[in-house]
Structure 1
Amino acid sequence: MRSPGRTKRFVSAVALVVTGALAVSACGGGSSGGKLVDGSWDDVVAAAEDEGKVAFYIGASADQAQRVVDAFNEKYPDIEVVIEAGGGDIVPRVETQMKTGTEGADVFMHADPAWYRAHEDELLTLSGPSGEGLRADAWIVPDKAVDVHGSPYSMFVWNTKMFPEGFSDWDDFLKPEVKGKLGFRADATKSAAGFLDFVETNVSEDYLERVGALKPKLYPSVVPITQAVAAGEVGATVAALPSVVKQLQASGAPLDFAYPDEGYGIEYVSAALENATHPNAAVVFMDFLLSTDGQESLNGDGYGVPARDGVEGALDPAGWTWQDSEKLTPDVLADWGRKLDRALK
């Protein structure tokens, strides 16, 4: 498990070939009515195919989730995956489901490791073959929740028609020609507040105030900011996600990007929920997500940092600072909200 409060470093290593048998925990499924079978992995897969469905709730790009689903269905064509993507709003929806026992998420992926630690008793136990060979620090909750995707967040993105020379340094965004053309977040979620804390600590104590002087256009998350850059509504941003940028580039948007030498990233954790309506399909989906093929679909092509070594095309942002969600308490978030209000509004 990763220790909160320290900078994580990811290093390359040889690929690991993993084999083994799966013995799924025989604990009961959720109050929605599902039950994990007590048997072999083949029995679990058969039960998952009988369930025929798994609901994948993800606090990230739906396009990135679709990459995973497409790869999953190549191996398990008889299990339909329903994607529900969202931002910070998806957390209370999942929590309501967990409290009321209503149908909803079977597998939940979100950028807040602390949330999974706080809900350890409400997660299904995983003990399958794909759980073997993961990085030791990938397990956020041992045998239950995994850091499946490390995503850069400090990401310089610009519209190549508006800024053909691009941006290579934090100070490039403070130039007079950027005034009124910068997209910036308006709220202080954990991801955004952690980013602001990183900038204040590692870039400049008054960077937020200097950005405010440029009269940036404000948005509720990095997704609409990046879309606005692609559309030419604004010209650049200092925070984005590779999954969003790459999908827009693939559609022909005039975007380019660069990573700063000192960067900040967020960790997306995934787990199967104990009250899953389709618990067997949930553990089968999680097992695939942890496999080399699953990790490549989630992190390959430069999309992110994987939970295991040897994933082709994955990022290796050695030396980046990663979000410490434990220290981003409600009081800290409220304080950053007030700082944003003073600097930007």
Structure 2
Amino acid sequence: MRLRAHLRRVLTASIAALALSASVVACGGADDPAPTSGAAADFGPTGDAAWQDIVDKAEQEGSVTFYSAQNTAQNEEVARRFEEAYGITVNVVRDVEANLQSKLGAEWTTGNVVADVVSQTGVGWVRSGGEAGRFAVPVGPAFDTAEYHRDVNFIDDHSFATAAAIVAFGWNTDRLPDGLTTIDDLLDPELAGGKVGIQEPVSASQVDFYQYLESNYGPNFLERLAAQQPRVYPGILPIAQALTSGEVAAGFSGALTDEVADGAPVDFGVPEKLWGARFYTSVLTAAPHPNAAQLLANFLVTPAGQTAYTRKTASVLPDVEGAVATVDRVAQQDLSKLTPESVDAYRARWKSLFVS
């Protein structure tokens, strides 16, 4: 039975890879998922007999519910590739992490748990949930590969890093033909007077980003940036749109790979030591589909899962197609140390500099 199941998965994955390649060639377009490669079809080590038993039971369960704060496109690509590989439906619930945490809190309180796996960036929330016994230890063989580095990517042996959303620096190539080389270039006097786009720190993670800037580019970086009189936007996406339209010449951005592929007049750079918000994924102890949950968790840290989940972000494995960095390059504080009071105080300081 195990041999038949293994052969069925290999055949399904091969057919899926061929179908995906044909689809990409036929349709094209920068919004399409990254093309399938050899790495994308790599589902990691097969594991032992005990793991195969989990795989067989997962296929019998037939579905798994995934709560994720990751980008919609990445979540959908994970669901598609996982179902093609294992025949298991992934029900994705995508929302901002505050809403996901609130939803799970209600499920735990009522005992009516719907989620099987959750992925978000709240380190403090992960630790408190682990202390309460709400997360199971992942047992998949992909966690023990040398490439994954379980020793640095786990929190308390129950929750694991799967990606990191990063902030890069971008520019409009029509307005800045020579481009930028470092974040410090945003302080060029030629970019003063509303030519730089920045985001307002409305969350703890965004406050952490500005603290990263001060730690890496000088304690007076904030004051020097404010002297540029930048345009303030509510987030990274509006800045990317402003860069594309030429409303600003430069600014903080995500990876502008789709815009570049579409021929937009933009480009971007990624600092050697960059800031990012790590996504930590947890398997719920009360998961309605415990075996499918373990299988999905394992899939997320295989080359196939990483290709789906980390496009335009930082990956936890090396050489992942579509990823723009690896998480070992990402600098981020322990957000649990950013109390509501400290966040409010920092935001007040920031507003005193940037909001007239």
Q: Normalised by the size of structure 1, how large is the TM-score?
A: 0.76
Aligned partners of 1:263 and 1:321 also within 8 Å: yes
- How far residue 278 of structure 1 moved from its aligned partner, in angstroms, is 4.1
The residue that corresponds to 1:131 in the other structure is 143
By how many angstroms is 1:108 displaced?
Answer: 1.7
Count of matched residue pairs: 307
65-74 vs 95-104, greater mean Cα deviation: 95-104
Distance change >3 Å, CA 183–CA 277, structure 1 → 2: farther
How big is the shift at 1:137? 1.0
> Which runs of structure 2 are paired with 1:295-306 in the superposition (5 Å)?
295-299=306-310, 303-306=313-316
Which structure 2 segments of 5+ residues have no match?
A: 1-41
Which SS does the other structure have where 1:119 is aligned?
helix
Match of 1:33 in 2: none
SS at match of 2:268: strand
Q: 1:343 aligns with which of 325, 337, 353?
A: 353
**1:46 aligned partner:** 59
> How far apart are 1:269 and its partner, in Å?
0.8
When residues 94 and 181 of structure 1 are mapped into structure 2, their CA distance, relative to the original with a 3 A threshold, is farther
Post-superposition offset of 1:105? 3.9
Residue equivalent to 1:168: 181
Question: What is aligned with 1:34?
Answer: none
CA distance in 2, matches of 1:224, 1:102: 38
Give the distance between the partners of 1:262 and 1:138, measured in 2 at CA: 18
Identity value in percent: 27
Deviation at 1:251, TM superposition (A): 4.3
1:202 matched to 2:201: no
Bigger proportion of residues as helix = 2
Partner of 1:10: none
- CA distance in 1 between partners of 2:93 and 2:259 (Å): 20
Alignment of 1:140 with 2:155, yes or no, is yes
Does structure 1 retain, via aligned residues, the 8 Å contact 2:154–2:161? Answer: yes
Structure 2 Cα separation of the partners of residues 97 and 253 of structure 1: 44
SS at match of 1:117: helix
CA contact (8 A) 1:21 1:41 kept: no
Equivalent pair of 1:88/1:189 in contact (CA under 8 Å): no
After TM superposition, list the pairs within 5 Å mapping 1:184-333 onto structure 2.
Answer: 184-238=198-252, 240-242=253-255, 245-299=256-310, 303-306=313-316, 308=317, 311=320, 315-316=325-326, 320-333=330-343
CA apart distance, 1:286? 1.3
Q: 2: distance between equivalents of 1:77 and 1:255?
A: 40
Give, in whole Å, the separation in 1 of the partners of 2:78 and 2:84.
10
CA distance in 2, matches of 1:84, 1:69: 12
Task: Name the CA shift for 1:41/1:337 in 2 (closer, same or farther; >3 Å).
Answer: same
- CA deviation after TM superposition for structure 1 residue 252, in Å: 4.2
* CA RMSD, 1 decimal: 3.1
CA distance in 1, matches of 2:276, 2:110: 33
Task: Please give the alpha-carbon distance, in whole angstroms, between the structure 2 residues aligned to 1:48 and 1:250.
Answer: 40
> Does structure 2 conserve the Cα–Cα contact (< 8 Å) formed by 1:146 and 1:271?
yes
2:97/2:121 contact within 8 Å kept: no
Matching residue's letter, 2:236: V
Matching residue of 1:182: 196
Residues 159, 70 of structure 1: alpha-carbon distance in 2 compared, 3 angstrom cutoff: farther
Tell me what 1:152 maps to.
166
For residues 129 and 44 of structure 1, what CA distance do their matches in structure 2 show? 16
* Cα contact 1:140–1:146 (8 A) shared by 2: yes
Whether the aligned pair in 2 keeps the contact of 1:151 and 1:305 (CA below 8 Å) is: no
The structure with the largest alpha-carbon Rg is 2
1:229 and 1:237 in contact (8 A); partners too: yes
Query: Structure 1 pair 152/74, CA: closer, same or farther in 2 (3 Å)?
Result: same
Asked if the contact 2:273–2:330 (Cα under 8 Å) also holds between the matched residues in 1, the reply is yes
Greater Cα offset, 255-264 or 95-104: 95-104
CA distance in 1, matches of 2:232, 2:100: 21
How far 1:171 sits from its partner (Å)?
Answer: 3.1
TM-score by length of structure 2 reads 0.74
Correspondence 1:122 to 2:134: yes
On the 8 A contact 1:129/1:287 being kept in 2, the answer is yes
Q: Deviations over 1:137-189 (max 9, x none)?
A: 111231x2111113433x11122233332221333212243421322221242
Deviations 1:255-313 (A, max 9, x none): 2111234432331111123344544433322121122321233336x63231x456566
